Amino acid sequence: MSDFSIRQGETLRVTIDVDNDAVSVKMDINTVPMITQTGTFTDQSCELAFTPEQTNTAVGSYDYMLTVTLANGDVEKMPDGDCMYGNCDFPQIIICESIGVTS
């Protein structure tokens, strides 16, 4: 999973591609308050769009996580929780300062 860098108040579009029978996805960004966006897959792809109002938050780096629901009802969280090799870090949304925007 990739880190993303945007400016405050910018639209953030994230495309999620899967190689399984995923039905829907939820992306949570660990800001205060939490920013959440959900979508459904078409042909194993889903685009989530976060609005300028959602990204007009304090400058900083925020963890994010995906929750994918499969056709059989199983739920997968990404990144996965296999911390055996110490790679448990979450990917980041980095919100940079923007002129003329206050949070």
> How far is residue 96's CA from residue 34's CA, in Å, rounded to a whole number?
18
Domain boundaries, the chain: 4-96
Interval 38-78: pLDDT, tens: 999 999 999 999 999 999 999 999 999 999 999 999 999 98
Question: Which of these, 60, 59, 56, 55, lies nearest to 27 by C-alpha position?
Answer: 55
Per-residue pLDDT at 14 exceeds 70: yes
Per-residue pLDDT at 1 exceeds 90: no
Confidence of residue 86 (pLDDT cuts 50, 70, 90): low
Domain 4-96, second-level architecture? Sandwich (2.60)
